[in-house]
Amino acid sequence: MNNEQLVRKNGIVIAIDGPAGAGKSTTARLVAKQMGYLYLDTGAMYRAVGLAALQQGVDPDDADGVTALCSALNIAFETRDGQLQTLLNDKNISDAIRSSKISQAASRVAVHPGVRDVLVALQRTMGRDGGIVLEGRDTGTAIFPDAELKIFLVADPAERARRRLRDLEKRGESAKFESLLEEIRIRDIRDRQTQLRRGAWPASDAICVDTTGLSIAEQVDRIVALAHRQNRA
């Protein structure tokens, strides 16, 4: 550990990584709340780029087109009524980015190194002073390889598809379990390849937490206990 890591102004950096549907968002949000930390949903930023590409008629697979588009976007977060909202060029897109269509577009735009460079630079700036929980695929590798606590959440694909189904139903979207399971498998393969192309994944010093059969409260308690231990170290 070098000195720079020891002087984060606002607390430690907690990186929560893992495949789609492993419970990263809910867990990260609640861990941040309990620790009094900021919460950064890095996946929402890739989703914002995916949405912008579809809205502006840019093919999500067109590396140069999406990178140019991404550099010109203004992606920001704000809290309203205790809920984190995602803004794209000042427009609230929090609901629009949660559809299955945008999930796939986000996974496709996330493949391009140019897009990742832009978003990773932004994410590093947002977390520079610590006191933050970052959630997303490369949080413990590319964004903050020196994060004081790295968690890798995993869960059975079937359990993850069931959770996705419940989330979509809550939002009034209908879906078939089998299709969601298939989507998760496709995204797992693409997301894993995207990360491996940029180096080892997950981070070798990440602590793996299997959330299959764990309640959200149990997951959160486990991570908060690890964070307090790390804060005392």
Contact positions vs ligand DC (CB under 6 A): 20, 42-43, 46-47, 103, 106-107, 110, 136-139, 187, 191, 194
- Min separation Cβ 215 and ligand DC, Å: 21
Residue (194 or 211) nearer to ligand DC, CB: 194
Burial of residue 141, with CB atoms counted within 10 A of its CB: 0-12 exposed, 13-18 middle, 19 or more buried? buried
Q: Which two tokens stand for residue 60?
A: 């999500």
Nearest distance, CB of residue 5 and ligand DC, angstroms: 21
Question: Of the two residues 29 and 187, which places its CB atom closer to ligand DC in the complex?
Answer: 187
State the Cα–Cα distance between residues 54 and 206, nearest whole angstrom.
34
Question: Closest distance between ligand DC and the C-beta of residue 6, in Å?
Answer: 25
Nearer to ligand DC, 128 or 229 (CB): 128
Contact 139, 147 (CB under 8 A): yes
- What separation in angstroms does the CA of 94 have from each of 56, 78, 213? 18, 11, 28
Token pair of 190 as six digits: 């693409």
The distance of closest approach from Cβ of residue 144 to ligand DC in the complex, given in angstroms and rounded to an integer, is 11
Closer to ligand DC by Cβ: residue 138 or 148? 138
Q: Are residues 192 and 201 in contact, defined by beta-carbon separation less than 8 angstroms?
A: yes
What minimum distance in Å lies between the beta carbon of 139 and ligand DC?
Answer: 6
Distances in whole angstroms, Cα of residue 14 to Cα of each of 19, 85, 153, 154, 223: 17, 20, 13, 17, 9
User: By C-beta, is 12 or 49 nearer to ligand DC?
Assistant: 49
CB of 7 to ligand DC, least distance (A): 25
Closest to ligand DC by CB, 42 vs 94, is 42
Give every CB contact of residue 21 below 8 A, 6+ residues apart in sequence: 155, 160, 161, 163, 164, 184
